[in-house]
Structure 1
Amino acid sequence: MSENTQEQIHPEDGYEKSDVNARAILVSTLVGIILIVASLVLVDEYFIQGREQFYTEAVLKPESAPLRDLRTKEAEFLNGYAVIDAKKGVYQIPITVAMERLAAEAFEKTQTKKDGKTSKK
């Protein structure tokens, strides 16, 4: 039966007498492209959702009590005054005050070097 609906190909003709079905090729190509694009969008959305869920669980969790205590102790240590050795006169000062004093001392040293060089001339 299929022989009756299709044109028979004879080797002596050398070529096919009918064209390919362009409409079927075009439709199947478009359907394939649409399926590929849809699957790419779905996979992308799936991974975005997974990444956001991971970020929410890993980063936005409330911090633990030991970590909070450690950070409090660190802040007290860096920003507080304390007596380390009263006999030797060793005291702890806040880190910001120490940095300001070191910067002021370095500035004074550079100023005295400049003044010393200019006065010798």
Structure 2
Amino acid sequence: MDSVNEMFLAVDGDDVGHRLEYFMLVNDSEALVEFSKIFQSAMNWLEIKLVSDFGAKLIFNGGDNLLASIPVDNSSLEVLEKLRAEFAEQARSTLSIGLGESPRQAYFALKLAKTSGKNCIRRFQELVNG
């Protein structure tokens, strides 16, 4: 039987702000409304899936950000990858995800995911020798 650890999951939509800014700058209200509705619907779907499939405890879900604590075992990363891919299909936008033993660690892992190409999941690891 796999051991289960409680971890924090930090989620951030990739380039969501840039897309919203673009629609505002080109004065495309219809695209702005459509993207916003689709993206928020996908974020709400992700929240429901995390709670129902993982037993996550939601801390917040707002805009293009989500933070939750979830039980994690050896198969969890594979399931999270599938959720991330399905989210991208629904939202027409990708997510970066960080996992850590605290909200701070999850945020650092999220920043690593964002700076290493986005659209991926990273776990927090202390840097050794640099």
Larger Rg: 1
Instruction: Tell me whether the two structures share a fold, i.e. TM-score over 0.5.
Output: no
Which structure has more helix as a fraction of its residues?
A: 1
Question: Relative contact order (alpha carbons < 8 A, sep ≥ 6): 1 or 2 greater?
Answer: 2
TM-score, length-scaled by structure 1: 0.24
TM-score, length-scaled by structure 2: 0.22
Which structure has more strand as a fraction of its residues?
A: 2
